[in-house]
Amino acid sequence: PAQVYEVPEEALEEGNGKLDAERKVELQITPSNCVQCGAITAKGGRLTPPEGGDGPNYQVA
C-alpha cells in the first residue's frame, strides 16, 4: 500500500496490463516510501537489517 515496491510501467505494457507466474519482472524499490526507513531516519539511528543482518528468512514451500 505504501508503494515501496512497484511494477515498472514497461513490464505491464509488455504483458498487456497483466503479470503471470512465467515471466520474471524486476521491481522498482522506492525507499523514500518505506515507513520503517523513515522512522529510523527520523530517530537519527542506523538502519540495521532485521534477523541478524541477512534480512527476512523467507522459505519457499
H/E stretch holding 5: strand 5-6
pTM, entire model: 0.43
Mean pLDDT of the chain: 72
- Our measurement of the distance from residue 6's CA atom to the centroid of its chain's CA atoms, rounded to an integer in Å, reads 7
In the prediction, which pLDDT does 33 show?
80
Structure confidence at residue 37 as a pLDDT band (50, 70, 90): confident
H/E stretch holding 12: helix 9-14
Q: Work out the percent of the chain whose per-residue pLDDT is above 70.
A: 64
- Domain ranges for the chain: 5-43
Is the predicted pLDDT of residue 58 greater than 70, yes or no?
no
